[in-house]
Amino acid sequence: MAGTVIAANWKMNKTTGQAIEFARGLKDALLKNPVAATVVIAPPFTGIGALATEFKDSNIFLAAQNMYPASQGAFTGEISGEMIVDAGCRYCIVGHSERRRLFGEDNAFINAKITAALHYGLMPIFCIGETLAERNSGATFMVLAEQLKEGLNKIPTNDIKKTVIAYEPVWAIGTGLTATPGQVQEAHLFIRNLLSEMYREKEAAGIPIIYGGSVTAANIGSLMAEQEINGALVGSASLELASFLAIVNFH
């Protein structure tokens, strides 16, 4: 049975001071009212070091929003998996639709990132999802299958157990549009069944499949009521502490 993961993707938001203020409030709230879900925060790179100090000895984990697959070298502006681990991260978001769309990252490059992340002991939060045009043309499952198979190419069974899959329909990210719980459940079930074909059913059953796409405190309960939705990758609703706490405490 897959565990529940609630991850905050802050994107290009929050100074280090703002991040620390949020972190202290979150840590105090979860200390008073613990939750069963694994809580992950993905701040900008500038905030990772400070939050690693704040979250030390807590049950809150850090994720990087991106990484480069090479271990070192002349890659100005990039960060390696080793550096991310050294800074205090346990997770790394890989394949986010904004990286695909704005920075031209393809499935092969994303596969190289996943491979490198796992090599350094990071747990990838691997994002896949279709555009509105692809959904309207009936290509959703074809797109998901291609992204999943190519993104996980040559990833062994032992490593797939350390991976989180995030279904994020591109048309629902930052638009205010949210896939219905039924649409998300259908996509997640397809992903789960495909993982069972690619790996063993036992391993596939333990992989958290989370949803990202305009998740809010108002819709998290109905989403989490679906059997195959194991959590959420939260964007703008994770920037305010009260809003994120309401999502984390979805029960």
Given a contact cutoff of 8 angstroms between Cβ atoms, the answer to whether 82 and 117 are in contact is no
Number of other residues whose CB lies within 10 A of the CB of residue 34: 9
User: CA-CA distance, 196 to 10, in Å (whole number)?
Assistant: 32
User: CA-CA distance, 234 to 96, in Å (whole number)?
Assistant: 12
Domain extent at residue 158: 5-248
Whole-number pLDDT of residue 138: 94
**What residue has token string 């009521």?**
225
- Partners of residue 92 on adjacent β-strands: 64, 124
> Catalytic amino acids?
96, 168
Whole-number pLDDT of residue 2: 85
Given a contact cutoff of 8 angstroms between Cβ atoms, the answer to whether 23 and 1 are in contact is no
Whole-number pLDDT of residue 196: 96
User: CA-CA distance, 46 to 14, in Å (whole number)?
Assistant: 9
Whole-number pLDDT of residue 189: 97
Query: How many domains in the chain?
Result: 1
CATH of the domain at 62: 3.20.20.70
Pairing of strands 123-128, 164-167: parallel
User: CA-CA distance, 102 to 177, in Å (whole number)?
Assistant: 20
Whole-number pLDDT of residue 176: 74
Which backbone phi and psi does 84 adopt, to 5 degrees? -65, -45
Whole-number pLDDT of residue 81: 98
Residue 14, sorted as left (phi over 0), alpha (psi -120 to 50) or beta, turns out to be left
Q: By three-state DSSP, how is residue 149 classified?
A: helix
What are the per-10-residue average pLDDT scores of the chain (251 residues)?
Answer: 94 98 98 96 98 96 98 97 98 96 97 98 98 93 98 95 96 80 96 96 94 94 96 97 97 75
Task: Tell me the one-letter amino acid at 137.
Answer: S
User: CA-CA distance, 228 to 45, in Å (whole number)?
Assistant: 31
